[in-house]
Amino acid sequence: MEKFSKYEFSGINIKKVTALRFRTLSKTLSMSNTETLSAMLDFFEVHEISPLDSIDGSLAAIEIRIKRRISNAIAIIRDIEKSQTLPTVAMLQSLFDQQFAPENGGGDFEEDFEFIEKKFEDQDSSEEWIEETTIPKIRYERLMEKMEALKLDFVYVLEQVKEVKVSFGKDYLKMELTPEEIEKYKRTIKNL
Which pLDDT score, from 0 to 100, does residue 27 have? 92
**Which residue type sits at 86?**
L
Measuring CA to CA, which residue among 121, 142, 118 is closest to residue 132? 118
Report the candidate in 49, 51, 48, 43 with the shortest Cα–Cα distance to residue 18: 51
146: Cβ contacts below 8 Å, ≥ 6 apart: 192
Q: Residue 131: how many CA atoms within 13 Å on its side-chain side?
A: 4
Average pLDDT for consecutive 10-residue bins of the chain (192 residues)?
Answer: 65 90 91 90 84 76 87 87 75 74 53 49 51 72 85 87 86 87 84 74
N-term to C-term CA, the chain: 50
Q: Which residues contact 150 (CB under 8 A, 6 or more apart)?
A: 188, 192
In terms of pTM, does the model score above 0.85?
no
